């Protein structure tokens, strides 16, 4: 879909009956949503009938992303890569956060292999109300022996529900792995200038997506993609090579150029998902394990920022994975989502007239972080969400959005004094400088809470109970 497509272009091919089955009152409203990618064609039931078959096809062509969406894995648990519409996230939104694959090798001792697979699957972090985690396992053939590879692939498959990437340059080895994964649609990694015809045959025979690897040779990358398309392969993914350290500029340049070609110039050959192989840091960087882990993480972060649709890594150190998972989550958040939540008084758990009253801002991230800490600790309380125009506590204090006045006004507006008997207000630690003024203006006694909301349970145990009895 070109970013310039207009709702009127789309409207022409809709049924134009305003039947309302999609949930919108008019077809025009639905067209606007389609263009903004807030609605999908299949939500219009009439379009799915034979009568509109041609229109559906037209619309699908018009609205399809310039970067093809490719699925890895069998249908029920496939990960989607690509499917992107824009170069810069504010132009619409980025769509599919790049899945992260961690490698295992076929020469690993069986117990270690299973252990690593389990570790990969269990690395889960709870972040703003949801679990974030790794996505794929890449099985690399180090043995270069088909039977060894077959065994390892089988073992991995038995122990994980994650989709797989099979890595080998030898078509015979690759086929042994593929035979173990009938119907599982692993990603074949990779077709190169040497093996492309055989790998192409395997991709067709087993119905799998195929990665093209042409390190630091974009002419070769285009040649391979062109040839394999002619070969009849629709689901390709392109890896121009990833380089850490002094060569990071090559990675960033190649990915940026490829994405610009795919999106801004709508070059179909380059309109495939891009693969970032940050794992190469383990071979290209000199130094100890920690140095390699740093560079792999940094390369991966650069790849998140610069258009990789799938990232392959090696280290499971944890301190490298966490910021990456969260960065990816942040960058692929829809920028059209509001920064703020509704100000007001929230009832959490089952508070009574003696329960604590705490203050926070209406910056969505602050609010959800505080909320999840309070809920996790099973605290019954009132949370006064002050309108700081969607700014966090620290910035809101500095920027005069969280002031004694706004707090006192909120206490009044939401009639907090009717809900509790006491007159004690807990404010965020980062707003401590406001405590005197708030007491003066509102007449409430102020208790300065912890700087981070993770300290709330401890604070209530130590300070609130004391304050309550005083």
Partner 1 sequence: MKKEKHPKLEDLLADLIGKELAKALSQLGEVEIELQDVQIMAEKLVLTIQPSALMRKEAVPVLEKPKELIMSRFEPPKEEWVGKVVEVKIGATPSEGGTRDRTIVIGGESAPAFHLFMETPPHPPIVAMDVFDMEISLPKAIKKYYGDVMSDPVEWARFNVEKYKADMINFHLISTDPLLKDTSPEQAARMVEEVLQAVKVPICVGGSGDPAKDQKVFEKVAEVAQGERILINDVTLDMDVPKMGELTKKYGHAIIAFTSMDLNQARELNRKLYDYLGKENIVMDTTTAAVGYGIDYAFTIMERARLAALMGDEELQHPMAAAASNAWAAREAWIKLPPEWGPKSLRGPIWEAFTALTLLFAGVDYFMMIHPVAVELTRNVINGLIRGRKELPEDLYEWIEREA
411 membership: H or E segment, kind and range: helix 404-413
Residue 219 CB, nearest distance to partner 1 (Å)?
A: 5
> β-strands 124-127, 130-133: how paired?
antiparallel
Nearer to partner 1, 109 or 415 (CB): 109
Nearer to partner 1, 77 or 400 (CB): 400
Residue 216 CB, nearest distance to partner 1 (Å)?
A: 6
Residue 226 CB, nearest distance to partner 1 (Å)?
A: 5
Nearer to partner 1, 76 or 246 (CB): 246
Nearer to partner 1, 220 or 345 (CB): 220
Nearer to partner 1, 183 or 232 (CB): 232
Q: Which residues are bridge partners to 127 per DSSP? A: 130
Residue 380 CB, nearest distance to partner 1 (Å)?
A: 23
As a whole number of angstroms, the distance between CA 20 and CA 27 comes to 8
Residue 95 CB, nearest distance to partner 1 (Å)?
A: 15
Nearer to partner 1, 280 or 442 (CB): 280
Nearer to partner 1, 72 or 304 (CB): 304
Let me know the angle formed at the C-alpha of 288 by 283 and 293, rounded to the nearest 5 degrees: 65
Phi/psi for 133 (5° steps) reads: -160, 175
As a whole number of angstroms, the distance between CA 295 and CA 60 comes to 41
Residue 325 CB, nearest distance to partner 1 (Å)?
A: 9
As a whole number of angstroms, the distance between CA 464 and CA 459 comes to 7
Nearer to partner 1, 159 or 227 (CB): 227
Nearer to partner 1, 144 or 422 (CB): 144
Nearer to partner 1, 39 or 279 (CB): 279
Residue 54 CB, nearest distance to partner 1 (Å)?
A: 15
In Å, the largest CA–CA distance within the chain is 81
Q: Residues 403, 405, 411, 414: is their CA dihedral positive or negative?
A: negative
3-class state of residue 271 by DSSP: coil
Judging by beta carbons within 10 Å of its beta carbon (0-12, 13-18, 19+), is residue 209 exposed, middle or buried?
A: buried
Is residue 193 within 8 A of residue 224, CB to CB? The reply is yes
Residue 111 CB: number of other CB atoms within 10 A? 8
Task: State CA 216 to chain mean position distance.
Answer: 27
Q: Which two tokens stand for residue 177?
A: 């792995």
Q: Which residues are bridge partners to 81 per DSSP? A: 70
Q: Which residues are bridge partners to 211 per DSSP? A: 237
Residue 49 CB, nearest distance to partner 1 (Å)?
A: 21
| Alpha-carbon dihedral angle through residues 345, 351, 354, 356, given to the nearest 10 degrees | -50
Residue 236 CB, nearest distance to partner 1 (Å)?
A: 14
Residue 227 CB, nearest distance to partner 1 (Å)?
A: 5
| Cis previous bond, 190, omega within 30 | yes
Phi/psi for 359 (5° steps) reads: -105, 140
As a whole number of angstroms, the distance between CA 7 and CA 320 comes to 43
Q: 289-305 vs 248-263: helix axis angle to the nearest 10? A: 20
């Amino acid at each position: 879909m070109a970013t310039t497509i207009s709702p009127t272009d789309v409207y022409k091919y809709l049924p134009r009956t305003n039947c309302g089955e999609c949930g919108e009152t008019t077809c025009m409203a639905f067209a606007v949503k389609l263009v903004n990618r807030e609605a999908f064609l299949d939500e219009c039931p009439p379009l799915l009938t034979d009568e509109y078959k041609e229109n559906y096809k037209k619309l699908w062509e018009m609205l399809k992303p310039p970067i093809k969406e490719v699925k890895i894995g069998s249908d029920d648990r496939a990960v989607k890569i690509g499917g992107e519409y824009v170069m810069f996230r504010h132009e619409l939104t980025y769509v599919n956060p790049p899945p992260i694959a961690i490698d295992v090798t076929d020469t690993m001792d069986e117990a270690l292999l299973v252990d690593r697979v389990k570790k990969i699957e269990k690395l889960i972090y709870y972040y703003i109300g949801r679990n974030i985690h790794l996505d794929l396992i890449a099985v690399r053939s180090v043995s270069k022996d088909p039977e060894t590879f077959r065994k390892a692939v089988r073992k991995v498959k038995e122990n994980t529900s994650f989709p797989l990437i099979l890595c080998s340059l030898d078509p015979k080895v690759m086929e042994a792995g593929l035979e173990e994964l009938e119907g599982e649609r692993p990603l074949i990694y990779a077709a190169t200038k040497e093996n492309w015809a055989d790998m192409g045959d395997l991709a067709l025979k087993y119905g799998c997506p195929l990665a093209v690897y042409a390190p630091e040779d974009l002419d070769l990358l285009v040649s391979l993609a062109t040839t394999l398309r002619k070969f009849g392969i629709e689901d390709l993914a392109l890896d121009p090579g990833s380089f850490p350290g002094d060569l990071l500029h090559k990675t960033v340049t190649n990915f940026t150029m490829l994405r610009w070609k795919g999106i801004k110039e709508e070059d179909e050959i380059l309109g495939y998902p891009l693969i970032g192989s940050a794992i190469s840091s383990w071979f290209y960087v000199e130094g100890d394990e920690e140095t390699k882990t740093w560079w792999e993480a940094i390369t991966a972060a650069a790849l998140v920022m610069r258009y990789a649709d799938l990232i392959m890594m090696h280290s499971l150190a944890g301190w490298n994975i966490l910021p990456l998972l969260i960065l990816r989550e942040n960058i692929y958040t829809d920028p059209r989502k509001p920064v703020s939540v509704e100000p007001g008084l929230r009832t959490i758990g089952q508070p009574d007239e003696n329960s604590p009253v705490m203050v926070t801002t209406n910056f969505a991230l602050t609010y959800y972080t505080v909320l999840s800490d309070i809920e996790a600790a099973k605290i019954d309380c009132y949370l006064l969400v002050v309108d700081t125009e969607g700014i966090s506590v620290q910035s809101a204090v500095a920027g005069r959005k969280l002031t004694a006045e706004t707090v006192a006004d909120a206490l009044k507006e939401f009639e907090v004094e009717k809900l509790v008997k006491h007159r004690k207000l807990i404010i965020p630690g980062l707003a401590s400088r406001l405590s005197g003024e708030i007491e003066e203006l509102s007449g409430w006694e102020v208790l300065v809470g912890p700087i981070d909301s993770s300290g709330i349970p401890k604070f209530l145990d130590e300070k609130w109970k004391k304050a309550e009895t005083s």
